[in-house]
Amino acid sequence: MSVTIRLQREPFDAAKEIAALTRGRTDIGAVVTFAGICRDDENGEPIAALNLEHYPDMAEAEIGRHIEAACRRWRLLGVTVIHRYGRIAPGEGIVLVVTASSHREAAFAAAEFLMDYLKTRAPFWKQVEKPGGKTGVKIWVEAKTSDETAAERWDGECRSKA
Binding site for other proteins (CB under 8 A): 36, 52-55, 57-59, 61-62, 83, 94-95, 115, 118-127, 140-143, 147
Contact 74, 14 (CB under 8 A): no
Residue 63 CB, nearest distance to other proteins (Å)? 10
Q: What CA–CA distance (Å, rounded) separates 141 from 115?
A: 18
Residue 60 CB, nearest distance to other proteins (Å)? 9
Closest CB to other proteins among residues 7, 77: 7
Q: Which residues contact 25 (CB under 8 A, 6 or more apart)?
A: 77, 78, 100
Helix (H, G, I), strand (E, B) or coil at 161: helix
Closest CB to other proteins among residues 24, 136: 136
Tell me the backbone φ, ψ of residue 146, rounded to 5 degrees: -65, -30
Q: Residue 127: what residue type?
A: Q
Give one DSSP letter per residue of 109-139, joined into a string: HHHHHHHHHHHHHS-EEEEEE-SSS-TT-EE
Closest CB to other proteins among residues 20, 150: 150
Helix (H, G, I), strand (E, B) or coil at 162: coil
Closest CB to other proteins among residues 32, 119: 119
Residue 103 CB, nearest distance to other proteins (Å)? 26
Residue 62 CB, nearest distance to other proteins (Å)? 7
